[in-house]
Amino acid sequence: MSLIDSANLQDLTQIYLFASTPSYLYRHFRKQSSLADLARSQPIENLVAEYQNRTTQENRSVEDVVMAYAVLVSITHLPYQEAQAILDRLDLSLLDWGEDIRTIFAATTKTANVIKVRLPYENRLPDTLKSSSPNNIYHSKFEQAGRKTA
Mean pLDDT (10-residue bins), the chain, 150 residues: 82 96 96 93 94 94 96 95 94 96 90 72 60 53 55
What is d(CA 75, CA 77) in angstroms, rounded to the nearest whole number? 5
Report pLDDT for 53: 94
Distance CA 50, CA 1 (A): 10
Could you give the residue ranges of the DSSP H alpha helices within the chain? 6-18, 22-30, 33-41, 44-55, 62-75, 80-89, 98-108, 134-144
**What gap in Å lies between CA 118 and CA 44, rounded to an integer?**
38
Nearest to 109 by CA among 75, 80, 78, 82: 80
Q: How is residue 118 annotated by DSSP?
A: P
* Residue closest to 16 by CA, chosen among 60, 68, 52, 87: 68
Q: How far is CA 82 from CA 39, 77, 79, in A?
A: 12, 10, 5
